[in-house]
Amino acid sequence: MTTPTPDTAVRLALVTGASRGLGAAMAEQLAPEFHVMAVARTVGGLEELDDRIQARGGQATLAPLDVTDDGAMQHLCRSIHDRWGGVDLWLHTAAHAAPRTPTDQVEGKDWERSLATNVEAVRRLITYVAPLLRAREGARAVFLDDDRAGQAFFGCYGATKAAQMALVRSWAAETQRTGPKVEILRPEPVPTALRARFFPGEDRAALADVGAEGARLVSLLGEKAGA
Could you report how far apart the first and last alpha carbons of the chain are, in Å?
A: 45
CATH architecture entry for 12-225: 3-Layer(aba) Sandwich (3.40)
142, 90 in Cβ contact below 8 A?
Answer: yes
pTM comes to: 0.94
Calculate helix-pair angle for 210-225, 21-30, nearest 10 degrees.
Answer: 50
pLDDT in tens, the chain (227 residues): 556 788 888 999 999 999 999 999 999 999 999 999 999 999 999 999 999 999 999 999 999 999 999 999 999 999 999 999 999 999 999 999 999 999 999 999 999 999 999 999 999 999 999 999 999 999 999 999 998 988 999 999 999 999 999 999 999 999 999 999 999 999 998 988 888 888 888 888 889 899 999 999 999 997 655 44
Give 78-90 as a 3 state SS string.
Answer: HHHHHHHCCCCEE
Q: Dump strand ranges (E) for the chain.
A: 12-16, 35-40, 60-64, 89-92, 140-144, 181-185
What CA–CA distances, in Å, run from 27 to 23, 58, 73? Answer: 6, 11, 19
